[in-house]
C-alpha cells in the first residue's frame, strides 16, 4: 500500500468526523446577569453601562462551594485605546451575550470531577485595567470614559456574597490572562472575606506577565502597564510595601504582587506563554521584515537561535517565580507548551490532549493542590522542546495552541512538529478510553542513599517505581531506565537539579503504559511481570561518578553509576536475584544507559536465566550537523569529562580511542556480550531535529529528504556489526519518532509501526522468547512504510 500524502483520504475524514462527534458534548448557555444599581454605585463599564456576570448554581455536595472566574482580555492604556474598547464587549455590557461554561467552569462531571457541581461565576471584563482602576477621563467625543474596575470587583463580589458566597465552605478566585492578573491583584481581599475555617484559595491562569525587553530592546509590557496604571489610577489595589519602595508600574507586575499575597495560590502558566511571546517579546515593529513573523505565531517554525531567545524568556519566568517555591500551601504548574490560558477550555483542562506534568493533567494537579491530596504541587517543566519522558508523562502532551485569549478564540489542535496527526491523536484518545486504565505506581526512594553516596544531582535520594508480578510472571523482571537527555556543564546541571531530572523532590507517582502496562490485551508478553521504572536524576545515563561545586557554592553530585548499582542491588534483594527471566530496557538517554550497563546486568544472573537487553531510541550517532559541527560529540564530550563516566566504558575501547568516542553506541555494541535487540528509528526525531535545525527551517526546504537519508545510511552502517551477532535483534523502522516501547500507541496498537508483519510488541516478544529464528528488521527509506504514523517535518 502506498504511503498517503498530507491530505486525509475520505474514509479517514469520515472517521475523524465520527470520532469528533462521539466525544462532543452539549454545553448550556449561561445567561448574563447585570449588576443591580450599578449606575447609582458608580460601578460601570467604560461606556457607563452596567457590568455583568454569569452564575450557574451549585448542587448536591457543591451547594456551598463557589468558583469565581474573572474574564481576561488585555488592557487599554490610552484614551484612544479605551475609546475603541468601549465599543465592544470588553468595554460595554451592551455587546455581551450568554456564554458557554467549559473547562473548569463545566458542569460535566466526567470532564470536571472536582468542581462540576459548585456554584460557578464568570465575571465579565469591561474596564480595561484588570478590575483595578478608579478614575475617569474625557473621551475624544466629549463623553466620559469610566475607569471603574475596582468598583466593579467590589460591587459584584458584594452582590454574590448576598447570593450565597458569604456562607461558602470552599471558594476559589480564578481568572485567565488579564483576569489572571486580576486574581492576583484581588487575592488577599477575596481571602479576607471568609473565616479561617473556609478553604479560600486563588488560581491565576496565564496571568503572570513579565517585565522584559522585546527584540528591539524596548520594555513593551512596562509601557502597556505604565499607561494603564497612571491613566486608570490603580494604586489602591497595589501593595503598600511595594509602593513605598518602587514605582507603581513595577508594583503592578506579578513578580512584585506575589511577594505580598498571603492567601494560598497556585500559579498556572506556560513558561512559553504564546500571548506574551507574540505581544511582549516579539511585538510587531520590534524586528526587521518578516524574520520573526512565522516563529512568534507558531513555535514549530522557529530556528534553534530563536528557541534560545524563547528559553531566555523562560529563564526570566522561572527566576520571577522563585519566591513561590518556598511559600507554604502555594502551588506551581508551569508547563512548556506554546499556549495561553488553560483552565477555560475542555481540551487543555482535562482531556487526552491536556498538558501533563508530574503525571497529572491541569485539572488533576489543581484538584490535588486545592483539596490537599498531594503533599505539594510545584511542577516546572523542562525547556522546549520537552524531553521525551516515558514515565513521568507521555511525550508531546503540549498539544494545545491558543492564539490569544483577548480574542476569546477557542484552542485548536495544530499539526505539530513532534506529534501524530489529529486523526491519530483521536485514535489514541479512543484507545486509551477503551483500554484498561493504567495503574498509578507510587515512587519508592532508595534506602540509605546518602550513606551510599548514591544521590541525585541535588543530593536527594534517587527513586524507582515497582509493580509486582503475578501468576506466570512472578519470577520475571523488566527493568526500565528512564531517559531525558544529559547535562554537560555546571550551568546545565545546575538548572537540571531544579526539576525531576535532577532531584527526587519533584518526582511523583507514575502511570505504566506500553511495555510497562498491566493490560494483557495491550502487553500480552510482559503484562504480569515484575516491572520497574528507575527514575533518571544524574544527567549522564546512570554512568558518572564525581562531584563539582555549583555556582551557589553547593555540591553537584554526579553519581549515576552509584545510583544504578544501589538501585539494582536493592531490587536483587526484592526478588530480582531469583528471576528466571529478565530484561533491561530504557528509552532515549535511558536506552543508552541500557547499553552501558547491559553486560553488568547480564552478569548478575546464572546462565540458566534468560537475561537480555532492549535499548529503545538509545542509539545516538556521531554525525556532523548541517553547519559541519559534531553536535552530539560536543554534548557527550562535556558529559563524559564533567561527570567522569570512564568506569562504565569498554577497556578495549579506552586503550585505542577517546573516552567520548567510547560513549557512543557504535563502540558500545562491540563489547556487549549479552543478547540485545536494538530498537530505533533510522529517522530518529530527537536526533534529527538538532541535525536539521542547525540552519533553521530554511535548511529543511533547501536540503529536503536527502539529508535525513544520509543520516539513515550512517545509522545502518553503525548497526552493521549487529547483523552477525547471534541472539541479537534489530527493529529499525523509518518512522519519524523517538522512543516506542513506553507508549501504548507505538507499542501495540493499530497505529504501531510494523516491520516483517510484526508490531513493535510482537517483534520484541518473538525475539525475547525465541519464537522466531531471528528478528533483524531494517526498514526501507522514508516514505516507504505506510504504517509509520508520524511525518518528517516540512
Model confidence pLDDT, tens digit, residues 604-648: 999 999 999 999 999 999 988 777 888 899 999 999 999 999 999
Which single residue is written with the C-alpha cell 484559595? 201
* Cβ proximity of 671 and 724 under 8 Å: no
* Cβ proximity of 711 and 758 under 8 Å: no
Average per-residue pLDDT for the chain: 86
pLDDT at 275: 95
* Cβ proximity of 712 and 659 under 8 Å: no
The verdict on 367 and 445 lying in the same domain is no
The verdict on 376 and 456 lying in the same domain is no
* Cβ proximity of 479 and 601 under 8 Å: yes
785 part of a folded domain: no
417 part of a folded domain: no
CA 670 distance to own-chain centroid: 37
| Host H or E run for residue 561 | helix 560-573
Which residues does the annotation mark as catalytic?
177, 273, 340
pLDDT at 649: 97
Domain assignment of residue 650, given as a range: 440-778
Give the pLDDT confidence of 4-31 residue by residue, as tens digits: 333 333 334 333 433 443 344 556 689 9
Taking the chain, what is the end-to-end CA distance rounded to the nearest angstrom? 23
Main-chain phi, psi angles of 491, to 5 degrees = -65, -45
Beta-carbon count within 10 A of 770 CB: 12
633 part of a folded domain: yes
Q: Model confidence at 438, in pLDDT bands (50, 70, 90)?
A: low
The verdict on 128 and 240 lying in the same domain is yes
- Measured CA to CA, the distance from residue 296 to residue 372 in angstroms comes to 37
CA triplet 462, 452, 457: central angle to 5 degrees?
A: 40
Give the pLDDT confidence of 281-331 residue by residue, as tens digits: 999 888 877 778 888 887 878 888 888 899 999 999 999 999 898 898 999
Three-state SS for 245-258 is HCCHHHHCCHHHHH
Q: Model confidence at 793, in pLDDT bands (50, 70, 90)?
A: very low
pLDDT at 352: 79
Nearest of 334, 444, 441, 315 to residue 378 by alpha carbon: 334
The verdict on 217 and 320 lying in the same domain is yes
Number of domains in the chain: 2
The verdict on 456 and 366 lying in the same domain is no
**Side-chain half-sphere exposure of 697, counting CA atoms within 13 A:** 15
Which residues 6+ apart lie within 8 Å of 69 measured at CB? 104, 105, 120, 121, 122, 123, 174, 175, 176, 179, 343, 344
pLDDT at 89: 93
52 part of a folded domain: yes
Query: Which of 15-29, 460-474, 745-759 is the least confident region?
Result: 15-29
* Cβ proximity of 450 and 462 under 8 Å: no
The verdict on 329 and 449 lying in the same domain is no
Last residue of a domain, one of 363, 380, 397: 380
Residue 700 has pLDDT above 80, yes or no: no
Beta bridge partners of residue 532, listed in sequence order:
466, 479
Last residue of a domain, one of 336, 354, 380: 380
Start-end of H helices in 358-407: 362-370
Main-chain phi, psi angles of 149, to 5 degrees = -60, -40
Q: What is the DSSP letter of 657?
A: S
pLDDT at 90: 95
235 part of a folded domain: yes
The verdict on 81 and 208 lying in the same domain is yes
Residue 232 burial by CB count (10 A; 0-12/13-18/19+): exposed, middle or buried? Answer: buried
| Domain CATH code at residue 520 | 3.40.50
180 part of a folded domain: yes
663-672 residues labelled b (16+ CB within 10 A) or e (exposed): bbbbbbbeeb
Give the pLDDT confidence of 523-556 residue by residue, as tens digits: 999 999 999 999 999 999 999 999 999 988 999 9
Cα maximum dimension of the chain = 93
| Host H or E run for residue 315 | helix 304-320
> Rounded to the nearest 10 degrees, what angle do helices 696-703 and 706-718 cross at?
90
CA 379 distance to own-chain centroid: 10
- Measured CA to CA, the distance from residue 192 to residue 189 in angstroms comes to 5
- Collapsing DSSP to helix, strand or coil, 224 comes out as helix
Beta bridge partners of residue 441, listed in sequence order:
510
The verdict on 504 and 367 lying in the same domain is no
Start-end of H helices in 720-779: 744-747, 760-768
293 part of a folded domain: yes
The verdict on 365 and 457 lying in the same domain is no
- Measured CA to CA, the distance from residue 668 to residue 389 in angstroms comes to 24
Q: Model confidence at 442, in pLDDT bands (50, 70, 90)?
A: very high
More confident residue, 648 or 384: 648
422 part of a folded domain: no
Nearest of 578, 467, 487 to residue 533 by alpha carbon: 467
Residue 604 C-alpha cell reads as 548478575
- Measured CA to CA, the distance from residue 177 to residue 190 in angstroms comes to 18
Residue 162 has pLDDT above 60, yes or no: yes
- Measured CA to CA, the distance from residue 559 to residue 537 in angstroms comes to 9
Beta bridge partners of residue 268, listed in sequence order:
205, 333
- E strands, 559-694, are 581-587, 610-616, 677-681
- Measured CA to CA, the distance from residue 593 to residue 665 in angstroms comes to 10
- Measured CA to CA, the distance from residue 382 to residue 503 in angstroms comes to 13
Query: Which of 336-340, 452-456, 565-569, 592-596 is the least confident region?
Result: 336-340
The verdict on 699 and 555 lying in the same domain is yes
The verdict on 345 and 447 lying in the same domain is no
Beta bridge partners of residue 138, listed in sequence order:
144
Q: Model confidence at 236, in pLDDT bands (50, 70, 90)?
A: very high
Give the pLDDT confidence of 33-42 residue by residue, as tens digits: 999 999 898 9
The verdict on 241 and 120 lying in the same domain is yes
Amino acid at each position: 500500500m502506498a504511503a498517503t500524502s498530507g491530505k486525509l483520504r475520505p474514509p479517514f475524514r469520515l472517521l475523524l468526523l465520527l470520532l469528533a462527534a462521539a466525544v462532543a458534548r452539549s454545553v448550556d448557555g449561561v445567561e448574563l446577569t447585570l449588576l443591580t444599581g450599578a449606575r447609582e454605585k458608580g460601578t460601570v463599564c467604560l461606556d457607563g453601562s452596567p457590568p455583568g456576570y454569569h452564575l450557574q448554581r451549585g448542587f448536591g455536595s457543591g451547594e456551598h462551594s463557589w468558583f469565581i472566574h474573572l474574564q481576561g482580555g488585555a488592557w487599554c492604556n490610552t484614551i484612544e485605546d479605551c475609546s475603541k474598547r468601549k465599543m465592544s464587549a470588553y468595554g460595554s455590557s451592551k455587546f455581551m451575550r450568554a456564554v458557554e461554561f467549559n473547562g473548569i467552569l463545566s458542569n460535566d462531571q466526567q470532564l470536571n470531577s472536582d468542581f462540576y457541581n459548585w456554584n460557578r461565576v464568570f465575571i465579565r471584563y469591561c474596564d480595561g485595567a484588570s478590575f483595578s482602576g478608579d478614575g475617569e477621563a474625557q473621551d475624544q467625543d466629549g463623553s466620559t470614559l469610566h475607569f471603574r474596575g475596582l468598583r466593579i470587583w467590589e460591587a459584584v463580589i458584594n452582590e454574590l456574597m448576598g447570593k450565597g458566597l458569604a456562607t461558602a465552605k470552599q471558594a476559589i478566585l480564578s481568572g485567565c490572562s488579564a483576569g489572571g492578573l486580576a486574581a492576583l491583584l484581588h487575592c488577599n481581599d477575596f481571602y479576607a472575606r471568609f473565616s479561617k475555617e473556609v478553604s479560600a484559595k486563588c488560581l491565576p491562569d496565564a496571568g503572570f506577565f513579565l517585565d522584559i525587553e522585546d527584540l528591539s530592546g524596548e520594555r513593551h509590557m512596562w509601557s502597556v502597564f505604565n499607561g494603564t496604571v497612571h491613566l486608570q489610577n490603580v494604586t489602591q489595589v497595589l501593595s503598600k510595601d511595594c509602593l513605598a519602595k518602587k514605582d507603581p508600574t513595577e508594583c503592578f507586575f506579578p513578580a512584585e504582587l506575589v511577594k505580598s499575597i498571603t492567601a494560598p495560590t497556585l500559579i498556572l502558566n506556560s513558561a512559553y506563554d504564546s500571548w506574551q511571546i507574540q505581544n511582549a517579546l516579539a511585538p510587531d515593529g520590534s524586528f526587521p521584515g518578516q524574520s520573526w513573523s512565522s516563529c512568534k505565531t507558531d513555535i514549530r517554525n522557529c530556528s534553534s537561535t530563536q528557541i534560545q531567545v524563547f528559553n531566555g524568556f523562560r529563564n526570566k519566568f522561572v527566576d520571577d517565580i522563585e519566591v513561590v517555591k518556598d511559600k507554604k500551601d502555594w502551588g506551581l504548574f508551569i508547563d512548556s507548551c506554546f499556549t495561553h490560558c488553560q483552565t477555560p477550555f475542555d481540551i487543555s483542562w482535562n482531556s487526552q490532549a491536556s498538558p501533563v506534568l508530574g503525571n497529572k493533567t491541569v485539572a488533576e494537579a489543581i484538584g490535588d493542590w486545592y483539596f490537599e491530596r498531594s503533599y505539594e504541587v510545584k511542577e516546572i517543566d523542562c525547556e522546549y522542546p520537552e524531553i521525551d519522558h516515558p514515565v513521568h508523562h507521555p511525550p508531546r502532551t503540549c498539544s494545545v495552541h491558543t492564539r490569544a485569549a483577548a480574542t476569546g478564540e477557542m484552542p485548536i489542535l495544530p499539526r505539530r512538529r513532534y506529534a501524530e496527526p489529529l486523526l491519530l491523536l483521536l485514535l489514541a484518545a479512543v484507545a486509551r478510553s477503551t483500554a484498561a486504565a493504567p495503574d498509578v505506581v507510587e515512587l519508592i526512594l532508595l534506602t540509605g542513599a546518602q550513606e551510599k553516596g548514591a544521590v541525585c544531582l541535588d543530593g536527594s535520594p534517587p527513586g524507582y517505581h515497582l509493580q509486582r508480578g503475578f501468576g506466570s510472571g512472578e519470577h520475571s523482571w523488566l527493568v526500565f531506565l528512564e531517559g531525558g537527555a544529559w547535562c554537560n556543564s555546571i550551568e546545565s546541571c545546575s538548572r537540571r537539579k531544579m526539576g525531576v531530572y535532577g532531584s527526587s523532590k519533584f518526582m511523583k507517582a507514575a502511570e505504566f503504559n506500553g511495555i510497562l502496562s498491566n493490560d494483557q490485551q495491550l502487553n500480552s508478553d510482559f503484562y504480569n511481570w515484575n516491572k520497574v521504572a528507575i527514575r533518571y536524576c544524574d544527567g549522564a545515563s546512570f554512568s558518572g561518578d564525581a562531584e563539582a561545586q555549583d555556582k551557589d557554592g553547593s555540591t553537584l553530585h554526579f553519581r549515576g553509576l552509584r545510583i544504578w548499582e544501589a538501585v539494582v542491588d536493592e531490587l536483587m534483594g526484592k526478588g530480582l536475584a531469583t528471576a528466571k527471566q529478565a530484561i533491561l530496557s530504557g528509552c532515549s538517554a535511558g536506552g543508552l544507559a541500557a547499553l552501558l550497563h547491559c553486560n553488568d546486568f547480564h552478569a548478575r544472573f546464572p546462565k540458566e536465566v534468560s537475561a537480555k537487553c532492549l535499548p529503545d531510541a538509545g542509539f545516538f550517532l556521531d554525525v556532523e550537523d548541517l553547519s559541519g559541527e559534531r553536535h552530539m560529540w560536543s554534548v557527550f564530550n562535556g558529559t563524559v569529562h564533567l561527570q567522569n563516566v570512564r568506569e562504565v566504558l569498554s577497556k578495549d575501547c579506552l586503550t585505542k580511542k577517546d573516552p567520548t568516542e567510547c560513549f557512543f553506541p557504535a563502540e558500545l555494541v562491540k563489547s556487549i556480550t549479552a543478547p540485545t535487540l536494538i530498537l530505533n528509528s533510522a529517522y530518529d526525531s530527537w536526533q534529527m531535529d538538532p541535525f536539521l535545525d542547525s540552519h533553521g527551517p530554511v535548511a529543511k526546504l533547501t536540503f529536503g529528504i536527502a539529508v535525513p537519508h544520509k543520516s539513515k545510511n550512517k545509522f545502518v552502517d553503525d548497526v552493521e556489526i549487529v547483523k552477525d551477532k547471534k541472539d541479537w535483534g534489530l527493529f529499525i523502522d523509518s518512522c519519524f519518532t523517538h522512543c516506542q516501547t513506553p507508549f501504548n500507541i507505538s507499542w501495540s496498537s493499530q497505529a504501531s509501526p510494523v516491520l516483517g508483519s510484526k508490531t513493535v510488541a510482537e517483534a520484541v516478544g518473538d525475539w525475547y522468547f525465541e519464537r522466531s529464528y531471528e528478528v533483524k528488521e531494517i526498514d526501507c527509506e522514508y516514505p516507504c512504510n505506510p504504517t509509520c504514523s508520524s511525518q518528517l517535518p516540512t
